[in-house]
Structure 1
Amino acid sequence: MTNEERQIQETLRKVAGAVEIPSFQMPSKNDALQVRRRSFYRSKRWASIGIASAVVLGLLGTMQVSPTFAAYVKSIFTQDGFDEGLQQAARQGFSETSNLSVTDQGITLEVKEIIADPAQVVVALMIKQSDGKQLLPTYPTATNTESNAVKLLDSKGEVISDDWGITFEENGGFIRFILGQKGQEPLPKTLSMHFDEIGDIKGNWKLQVPVTMAKTTAATTVLPVNQTQVTKHGLKMTLHQIVNTPTATRIELETQWTEAAKKQLEQEAKKLTGKTTNPDYAPFLPYQQYRLGYYYEGADGSKGKERIISNSYSIDRFGHFRWINDDDPLQKGKAATLVINSLHKAIPYDMSITFHPDELNKKPVIKQVGEDIFTLKSIKLAKDDDSEKQQMEMEIDVLSKDITRIYLPWWVLQDGQGTTYRAKMGHQSKGPVDQSGRERATYKIRLEDSSHWEGGEITKLPEKLTLRLDAVQKKYPLEWRIPVTNQ
């Protein structure tokens, strides 16, 4: 086995063993406009430009397939660790190898392999130094979003998309574009790459890579649905179609509130005005902050894993969205039913607990709101890794039958002098269900002084604090069943 083969084998092993990014994230003011992408393999380094652009850029370039690599593995996408849709498409011969590369400053960028269908374009890359060893650009220098560009072009050379994500392991990288975000789009014909910087090395790497989609387009089927249902909350849901491509089964859905529902939401918006640590966005929470849960059911009644439709594209500020959501392809010819079974919706909430930190650390403080139980378990000072400033760190348990998420801006902490502390980091973990059917969720949140733009140093814990919760996301049952057999 050559050195390159060993490097490839090590990369594939790491890909298979990597873990998913935690899903608990803080929304921005336009959180509903952002796209959360399904990770195409289990990598802790996956990033989306729309969510974390600083992580993504400055890492890439171009490529070609070496005979050694091709001899070692027919397709990198067939390896364990990639999602089943990519593996299946690669096994069926839908991936294309490339012999394109570009070299500058002793650095060669190689495009190894591409899978492209109407749902997504995924590209496998390698970066090599002049001695043939792999180069992994460093995270701190991967921030040049202006000069480093990767785009999909149509047959006329017009940009279809420059919204992409990347992950890097030691010996290679993977770019992913999600197609169809703007509705009907022309198919991509070219992957255009132009980089002025890789890691801390400046140079000029340009490459035009053909994107071939004839086979995958021919293998794609569209099931028109065009059915509408209105929930008891007044959310009008229209399922336009189901698209089956070699790599994915895609749901294309549109949602908007009825006029009667908007009147109720207007009252909820008034309750939230001026609240949370993001008061400008708070009045739009009732309109925009919602998700739909779903699963696929087999002909024998077997139930697949429940998931959340989360890739939303805003049509207006009042909760009118387009949604596209990709899963592994449904099995061809086998009857299946799409079941949209839950609405996850933000609502105003009123929970307030006053406590003394020194007493809390000796004995947890408990507050019950309806059937929901909140337990403040601990509070301490902890140094922030980025700013190296001391901040407060809290751990809170929530027992609830229907609270499914609490976003960071909804937690508000105040001391006796009126200083407000905002939650800037958080982690949510799920626990067991109690005898009353309430699920346990543990929140660990890091709080900083909001009177300072970049967060001030907290030198000691205040004598008295009040924790307030202004909104929560609750789950409501639905039962909309749509036959979606992949023919």
Structure 2
Amino acid sequence: MHEDQEWVNQVLNGNKQAYAHLIHKYKDRIYALLLRMVRHLGMYVSPTFASYVSSFVSRVSGDLGLKFAAENGFNTAVNQSVSDQGYTLRVKDIVADSARLVITYTLEDASGNPLDDQYLHYFDGSKIYLADKVGNVLSELPEDHELGQGYGDITFVLDEWPKDEDIVVHFDVHEIGVRDPKPVNFALQIPVNIAESKQAATTIPVQNVFTSPQGIRFSFDQVMYAPSATRFEITTSVTDESYERERQLVHEMEGDDADFTMDDSYRFSYRIVNQAGEVIAASERGEVNSGRTLYFSPTYPKGENVKTGTIQWKTAIIPGEPSETLTFILDEIEKEERADFAISIRPDTLLQSPISKTNEETGDTYTIKGLKKGIYPGTNEEIWVMTIEGNLKIWDMPSWILSDGTGKRYEVTPDYTTMTVRHTKEGEILKQNLFIKGMASPPEELSLKLKTYKKRYTNIEWKVPIPSQK
């Protein structure tokens, strides 16, 4: 994860594009969870035991979905605990319905006071997961992990509920705290019966399909009304024509042996409005707890679906009044496009005169600042390091192809440990080093070709009326 340090730094600085790109790049919930966590770390004040409100219903009053679910019997007061090394994990409550399962816990010291740092580890040997009663894993990672004063909320999302009516929440935690981690051995299993939860959900098919001019197919599949949340399910994919066009462009640019998939080539933004035209939820949450968005969760492709970039999206919102009428609006598609942009470089003149060039397609400007010898990290291999600065319109970490005047190509790898993309009023300011292998000495002329750039498409005008709960 060290290669993503700059991405994490950008998230800490409030860059939503960095947050979305990092999650989308790795298609792994753990990155999303870690990034959500860091937004909370500066919010802590030292709590006292009295600051923890024991009534679950009172504490979640801001989340009307959880409040409604709890008031209608979908909340289980657990109050089970396990202790080790003078610390206690106490699971207070669990809310479970078809949209989400939310676990509220507190970490306490030996005197029973909530710790300042409520972070529970569930990676690097620690696990928190859901299984059925015979041990089959149903969800291996939480969808969300929110921290508050003296408590934490862990949210799981299931693609579909198991046939069995009993599931088990497993805690196998060996470390707590993020600022000053402490070793522990917490092992706890909590059964949850979901029979009534399954019966309380209503699923309504929608089947509204749209294909954008950019070759992205959208299918708004269904809406599910559950006590704690309303969930929408959308499937996206790349059309056959778009896939074939992109495949040919990649092979022309990078050769027939180039790896090619479409699973990391696009993302989209949406909003949901009510009958008055007011935005009640959107794909960009903004500040924590703003609007009614609960999660926007992709399930990324496997097998053959990787080629066409087929992604299943689940987005959930806090329920509103029964009389509310909602509409889904697709606002924007951000798509990775193949670039037709190259910079000619004469290495012997770089130190005296850096080379700048603007991509007319995007308005992005890149400057080659220097070329010097270096050592590849972790090895003794001698390499060359090229330094690039840029002013970009859209946040990005560009990749390049480097060749000499004869067409010979050199292996180029961005140094993610030093790369920065800083958001300013003037644009996204890029600083990037490229590791170059296989070049004994710089030739008289080099060509640095940009592989892709990101382009945003707006004014799409796809609207889907969301059927009301019957």
User: TM-score interval w.r.t. the shorter chain?
Assistant: 0.5 to 0.7
Alpha-carbon distance in structure 2 between the residues aligned to 1:347 and 1:119: 35
Alpha-carbon distance in structure 2 between the residues aligned to 1:247 and 1:317: 33
Q: 2:223 aligns with which of 242, 250, 263?
A: 242
Give 2:261's aligned residue. Answer: 284
Residues 1:396 and 2:390 aligned together: yes
Alpha-carbon distance in structure 2 between the residues aligned to 1:170 and 1:357: 54
Give 1:77's aligned residue. Answer: 60
1:267-299 alpha-carbon deviations (Å, 9 max, x no partner):
123245369xxx965x224x6412233222332
Give 1:189's aligned residue. Answer: 167
Gaps spanning 5+ residues in structure 2: where? 1-11, 42-48, 285-295, 372-376, 379-384, 439-444
Please say which of residues 297-306 and 98-107 is displaced more in the overlay.
297-306
How many aligned positions are there? 408
Please say which of residues 120-129 and 23-32 is displaced more in the overlay.
23-32
2:89–2:105 contact (8 Å) kept in structure 1: yes
Q: 2:92 aligns with which of 95, 112, 124?
A: 112
Please say which of residues 408-417 and 70-79 is displaced more in the overlay.
408-417
Q: Aligned in 2, Cα 1:34/1:99: closer, same or farther, shift over 3 Å?
A: closer
Q: Aligned in 2, Cα 1:160/1:270: closer, same or farther, shift over 3 Å?
A: same
Residues 1:469 and 2:450 aligned together: yes
Alpha-carbon distance in structure 2 between the residues aligned to 1:348 and 1:111: 50
> By how many angstroms is 1:24 displaced?
0.9
Q: Aligned in 2, Cα 1:167/1:445: closer, same or farther, shift over 3 Å?
A: farther
Could you tell me which amino acid in structure 2 is paired with residue 337 of structure 1?
T
Structure 2 counterparts to residues 213-292 of structure 1, below 5 A: 213=194, 216-273=197-254, 281=259, 283-285=260-262, 288-292=264-268
> By how many angstroms is 1:157 displaced?
4.0
Alpha-carbon distance in structure 2 between the residues aligned to 1:312 and 1:209: 26
Could you tell me which amino acid in structure 1 is paired with residue 187 of structure 2?
K
Q: Aligned in 2, Cα 1:429/1:239: closer, same or farther, shift over 3 Å?
A: farther
Give 2:109's aligned residue. Answer: 129
Alpha-carbon distance in structure 1 between the residues aligned to 2:30 and 2:51: 36
Q: 2:273 aligns with which of 289, 297, 307?
A: 297
Q: 1:154 aligns with which of 110, 127, 132?
A: 132
Give 2:300's aligned residue. Answer: 313
Q: Aligned in 2, Cα 1:329/1:343: closer, same or farther, shift over 3 Å?
A: same
2:398–2:452 contact (8 Å) kept in structure 1: no
Q: 1:373 aligns with which of 363, 369, 372?
A: 363
Alpha-carbon distance in structure 1 between the residues aligned to 2:161 and 2:253: 37
> By how many angstroms is 1:198 displaced?
4.6
Could you tell me which amino acid in structure 1 is paired with residue 336 of structure 2?
A
Alpha-carbon distance in structure 1 between the residues aligned to 2:167 and 2:20: 36
Q: Aligned in 2, Cα 1:257/1:156: closer, same or farther, shift over 3 Å?
A: same
Q: TM-score, normalising length from structure 2?
A: 0.67
Q: Aligned in 2, Cα 1:93/1:301: closer, same or farther, shift over 3 Å?
A: same
Percent identity between matched residues is 22
Could you tell me which amino acid in structure 2 is paired with residue 268 of structure 1?
L
Alpha-carbon distance in structure 1 between the residues aligned to 2:451 and 2:83: 55
1:160–1:188 contact (8 Å) kept in structure 2: no
1:429-459 alpha-carbon deviations (Å, 9 max, x no partner):
6667xxxxxxx6414445363659xxxxxxx
Alpha-carbon distance in structure 2 between the residues aligned to 1:29 and 1:451: 29
